[in-house]
C-alpha cells in the first residue's frame, strides 16, 4: 500500500508540474479524475517528420510501484510505426523493465530507471516517431515497409496523419 501512495504522490506532482509548465509537442491529463494511474496523452506529430501535424492519443498506465517499474503506453489513435505493436503498445527501451535484457538487444542502461518522468517518457516517444528503429521491430510489417517500400510507408502514415486531424 505504501508503494501505491508513494506512486500516487509522485504522479500528482508530475501532473501538476506539466500543467504549470507545459512541454511543446504533447499534452497530458488524467483519463478519469479519480484515477491518478491512468493518463491520457496527446502527442503532436514532430515537425519535419512523416508524422508532422498529426494528433495521436495514447493511454499511459502506471503500476502501483511506479517509479520502480515503468508504465505501459498504448496509442488509441491509429498508428503505423515499426516500434508500435499492431495493438498500439509502444515498444521503446526505456519502457522495458529494469535490469539486463533477456534477449540481449539492450543494455541495462537503456532500460527503465526510476529517474524517468512522464515528460522524459513522452519525449522519448516523440523521438521514436522522428527516427524509427527497424532493428528490433514491434510491428514487423511496418518495419519491412519502412525498409523496403518507403513510399508505401509514407503514404500510409500520411493517411493516418490526415485522419488524426479530421478527428479534432
Q: Which residues are known to be catalytic?
A: 91
The SS3 assignment for 140 reads helix
Cα distance between residue 46 and residue 131, in whole Å = 10
Cα distance between residue 77 and residue 31, in whole Å = 15
Cα distance between residue 107 and residue 126, in whole Å = 21
Cα distance between residue 60 and residue 82, in whole Å = 19
Cα–chain-centroid distance for residue 56?
Answer: 10
Cα distance between residue 94 and residue 127, in whole Å = 12
CB count, 10 Å around CB of 51?
A: 23
Cα distance between residue 146 and residue 87, in whole Å = 18
Amino acid at each position: 500500500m505504501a508503494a501505491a501512495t508513494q506512486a500516487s504522490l509522485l504522479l500528482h506532482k508530475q501532473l501538476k508540474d506539466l500543467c504549470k509548465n507545459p512541454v511543446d509537442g504533447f499534452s497530458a491529463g488524467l483519463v478519469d479524475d479519480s484515477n491518478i494511474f491512468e493518463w491520457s496523452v496527446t502527442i503532436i506529430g514532430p515537425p519535419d517528420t512523416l508524422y508532422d501535424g498529426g494528433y495521436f492519443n495514447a493511454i499511459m498506465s502506471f503500476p502501483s510501484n511506479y517509479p520502480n517499474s515503468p508504465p505501459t503506453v498504448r496509442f488509441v489513435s491509429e498508428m503505423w510505426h515499426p516500434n508500435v505493436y499492431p495493438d498500439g503498445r509502444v515498444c521503446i527501451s526505456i519502457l522495458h523493465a529494469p535490469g539486463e535484457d533477456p534477449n540481449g538487444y539492450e543494455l541495462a542502461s537503456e532500460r527503465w530507471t526510476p529517474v524517468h518522468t512522464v515528460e522524459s517518457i513522452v519525449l522519448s516517444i516523440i523521438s521514436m516517431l522522428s527516427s524509427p528503429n527497424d532493428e528490433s521491430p514491434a510491428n514487423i510489417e511496418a518495419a519491412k515497409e519502412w525498409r523496403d517500400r518507403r513510399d508505401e510507408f509514407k503514404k500510409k502514415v500520411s493517411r493516418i496523419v490526415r485522419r488524426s486531424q479530421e478527428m479534432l
